[in-house]
Chain A
Amino acid sequence: MPDARLHGVMAEFASPEALLAAVVRCRREFASVDAYTPFAVDGLADALGFTRNGVPAITLAGGIVGGIGAYVLQWYSAVIDYPINAGGRPLHSWPAFIPATFELTVLGAALAAFFGLLVLNGLPRLNHPVFDVPDFDLASKSRFFLCVRADAPGFDAAVTERVLGSLDPVRVTRAREVER
């Protein structure tokens, strides 16, 4: 019977190399593994089996929406809703519509990249079980954390602690779910 109030078992490492080796090992044993680092460690996300990075697709969609939206807005307002004949110039004067279309393409893509990043990362989320783990304030400084989550089927805290303890960590701790 898994402990419902357990988030997972955390191990603290002193270097990214130690963390990376531990992640590779733990991925063979456990289903759901997380890692927390003070900077982007090369190859760590790959080692965690992270493949579904949705940010580029969302950014592309934002750019397309921004660009098409800007062009349609200009076309509709200049041709349909408010046509002005200025010296017989064409109403649909597309070259003049390009600058605003370009700018709003960039704006749409940038907004999508920023907010897509936040939504996919589940941020803002000010409280999280890992924050209660001792030393976790060093995860934004000089320590590297690995978490084997308790939500996977067949999770056994004692076994997990034994495996993590064999990987030469600084320490191993249990992370509790946040009290509500």
Chain B
Amino acid sequence: MGQAQHAEAVIEIRDLNTRFGPAIVHENVSLAVDRSEIFALVGASGCGKSTLLREIILLQRPVSGSIRVFGEEVLGLSEERALPLRRRWGVMFERGALFSSLTVSENVGVPLREHTDLSDRLIDELAAVKVALAGLPADAGPKYPSELSGGMRKRAALARALALDPELLFLDEPTAGLDPLSASGIDELVRSLRETLGLTIMMVTHDLDLLWRTADRVAVLGEGRILGMGTMEQLSASDHPMIREYFHGPRGRAAREQQWNQK
């Protein structure tokens, strides 16, 4: 694969190897995420999806390989050099990771206060905009994370991830632990974010509904490798046993039927 082929690639991973002691997590994993694409990583629990995500966002180091984000190699990047990159992406953690001693709007304001010289009034207003964008009611702003339900906490985490208007958004299990209504709210939110803000979104998820409704391309991770990559239609036509098992289990079928009914 030449560079020119992926001129528009926002994330480009090549020959990535990760090991935890003797356990091989990733073996020669390569993938590319294009601009304004919703890219999903799926796979059984413990197959290294979240590890891959953590490696891209510089929280963990692989053994070897290359990860380029916005065309810049992130492995071995100094903290100083990593900062401009970090500002261009937003991360929503699986369990929210909201700062428990700050209110929701203060949480959203943290990146703004840290990285911009906006007035306090504007920061508060922008935080309110992000809180609303993430689908939270306005009265959630002054609340502390411990006073929110799980779904609201997720939305608050998303609001914080959106604080700096990132170009690239990482979502770790955006719908896990949500009721179906909130989960489908997240589906719409993810799609509208891409359409209105032109975001590139990379997510790790188990939620087949979310995959059918939002993902442009999906990579199935298993046995340390990428077992298949493509649109949901392509993957569900795949005859790889593990992929079939994943997409054609009872839940997979239900999600696909629902998708067809909607169409």
Q: Bound pair: A and B?
A: no
Write the residues of chain A forming the contact surface with B, with a CB cutoff of 8 angstroms.
none
Write the residues of chain B forming the contact surface with A, with a CB cutoff of 8 angstroms.
none
